[in-house]
Structure 1
Amino acid sequence: MKKEERQQVILEYLSKEHRVTSIELSEYLSVSEDTIRRDLKELSDQGLLKAVRGGAVAPSPIPLHYRKREKHDVENKKIIAEKAISYLKDGQVVFIDGGTTSVALVASFPYDLKLTVVTNSFPVALLVEDLPNIELIFAGGLMSKTSFTTSGIDTIDFLRNFRADVCILGICSIHHERGITGVLYDDSQIKKSMIQNSNFVIALSSIEKVGTAEAYYISPITDIDVLVTNISPEDEILKTYKEIGLTIL
């Protein structure tokens, strides 16, 4: 089998399993582990997977630009929002990041909910504008035209002024070994700051992001208190995350 054919088989295998070891691929393709490691490095350099110790994981399948993400997987975002809303109570100070699932949660807020929302997201701010009982504190900084959020040292310094009761975190990628990772460096630093300055962290993630990894490290799994997905908490794919100690919705 030619290298190009072998690498295509690896990508197809990974798309089904989300994670694969070098040993598995070596046996599956009847080639040496050294050959597999070289293949995984080449594919990782092309951004087609993420090489990890002993194998590889799939990258997040989510589009990068906000305008494309907001139209992606809309029904499942609504399911996640309906599950997560029960954690929000009157009087809380809540960090909300710029993820489109986070925006879907804000869109589901009851009209009489009383919160203080601290956000760096322009779409979140626009939604909060119509809710009379929610105080909005906007974290200024350099605007990203990819994510419609602010970022940079000014934004991070601003977030350090709070100890939020809850952090609502839209997930790009989550993996039981690689932790929480992101595709944009600046956005990942904002998420990290929100986690560090919160008492309780709720991660919102469609199941297609579970078991994937990206280049920029945000935090270990253990920094998350609740993982909210669009599938049953009893699904086998979530078993590892339960064993780590996460509450799964």
Structure 2
Amino acid sequence: MIKDERLEQILEHVSRVRSVSLTDLSTSLNVSEDTIRRDIKILSDKGLLKAVRGGAVAHSPIPHHYRAREKHDMAQKRIVASKALHFIKDGQVIFLDGGTSIQALAELIPADMKITVVTHSFPVVSVLEDHPTADVIFAGGRLCKTAFTTIGYETIKAFKNFRADLCLISVCSIHPSMGLTTVDHEEAQVKRTMMEMAGQTIALSTMDKLNTAESYYIGPVTDVDIIVTDTEPNDERLNVYKQAGITIF
């Protein structure tokens, strides 16, 4: 098999099963693990997958810019948002991070619900600016122009002033062994702080983000208490997360 055919088959395999090992690819393609390791490095350098120890993992399929994500997979995000609404109760202080799933959730908060929302997301603030009973606190900082959120020291400092009941985060990538990851270093720091300062963390994730990984580490998957997805909780693909002690909803 020529090199280009091999690279194409590796990409197809990673796209289909999300993560692959050197051993499995070596066996299926009938080449040495060293050859597969070099192939994976080539594909990783091109940004087509993420090389990890012993194999490779798919990148998250979501677009990086918020404007592009607004139109991506919105039906599934609305399913996730409507399920996540179940956990928000009157009187709570909640963190809402950036992300189109979180914006969809903010749009569903009932007009008579009395809550305090702390967020660094401009779209979330825009949704809640006319909410009659929600107290909205904005965590200022430096603008991240691709996410329409604030990031940096000032944002982190703002979140550290609260002890929230819930932290609801929109997942970029989640993997059972590689944990929660994202595409921006400062975004990862903010999300980590939000999770640390909340009593419970709920991750909103469509199924296409599961078993993927990016470069910047937020924390282990066990830092998440609940994963809310767009499929049924008994989906076999979610078993590995249940085994880690995470509630699936």
1:150-171 Cα distance to aligned partner (Å, 9 max, x none) = 1111111111111111000000
2:200 alignment counterpart: 200
1:74 alignment counterpart: 74
2:118 alignment counterpart: 118
Q: Does 1:42 align with 2:55?
A: no
1:4 alignment counterpart: 4
1:60-119 Cα distance to aligned partner (Å, 9 max, x none) = 010011001011111001100111111000011000000111111111111111110000
5 Å-filtered alignment, 1:203-218, equals: 203-218=203-218
2:156 alignment counterpart: 156
The amino acid across from 1:86 in the alignment is H
**Partner Cα distance (1:216, 1:42) in 2:** 20
2:19 alignment counterpart: 19
1:176 alignment counterpart: 176
1:51 alignment counterpart: 51
Which runs of structure 1 show a deviation greater than 4 angstroms over 4 or more consecutive aligned residues? Answer: none
The amino acid across from 1:120 in the alignment is H
Using the TM superposition, give the Cα deviation of residue 226 of structure 1 relative to its aligned residue in structure 2, in angstroms. Answer: 0.3
1:129 alignment counterpart: 129
Using the TM superposition, give the Cα deviation of residue 2 of structure 1 relative to its aligned residue in structure 2, in angstroms. Answer: 2.0
The amino acid across from 2:31 in the alignment is V
Q: Does 1:165 align with 2:170?
A: no
Using the TM superposition, give the Cα deviation of residue 17 of structure 1 relative to its aligned residue in structure 2, in angstroms. Answer: 0.7
**Partner Cα distance (1:168, 1:243) in 2:** 22
The amino acid across from 2:78 in the alignment is K
Using the TM superposition, give the Cα deviation of residue 145 of structure 1 relative to its aligned residue in structure 2, in angstroms. Answer: 1.4
Q: Does 1:228 align with 2:228?
A: yes
5 Å-filtered alignment, 1:58-69, equals: 58-69=58-69
1:35-64 Cα distance to aligned partner (Å, 9 max, x none) = 011111221122111111211110001001
* Cα root mean square deviation, aligned: 0.8
1:210-232 Cα distance to aligned partner (Å, 9 max, x none) = 00000000010111000000011
Q: Secondary structure in 1 aligned to 2:164? A: coil
Using the TM superposition, give the Cα deviation of residue 7 of structure 1 relative to its aligned residue in structure 2, in angstroms. Answer: 0.8
Q: Secondary structure in 2 aligned to 1:199? A: strand
Q: Secondary structure in 2 aligned to 1:13? A: helix
**Partner Cα distance (1:160, 1:234) in 2:** 36
Q: Secondary structure in 1 aligned to 2:198? A: coil
**Partner Cα distance (1:151, 1:13) in 2:** 36
**Partner Cα distance (2:199, 2:140) in 1:** 22
**Partner Cα distance (2:21, 2:214) in 1:** 18
Query: What is the count of residue pairs matched by the alignment?
Result: 249
Q: Does 1:30 align with 2:30?
A: yes
TM-score (norm 2): 0.98
1:243 alignment counterpart: 243
1:110-165 Cα distance to aligned partner (Å, 9 max, x none) = 11111100000000001111211000000001111111111111111111111111
1:89 alignment counterpart: 89
TM-score (norm 1): 0.98
**Partner Cα distance (1:42, 1:161) in 2:** 45
**Partner Cα distance (2:119, 2:18) in 1:** 32
**Partner Cα distance (2:135, 2:196) in 1:** 22
1:178-234 Cα distance to aligned partner (Å, 9 max, x none) = 000001112111111101111100000000000000000001011100000001111
**Partner Cα distance (1:44, 1:115) in 2:** 44
Using the TM superposition, give the Cα deviation of residue 239 of structure 1 relative to its aligned residue in structure 2, in angstroms. Answer: 0.7
Gaps of 5+ in 1: none
The amino acid across from 1:161 in the alignment is N
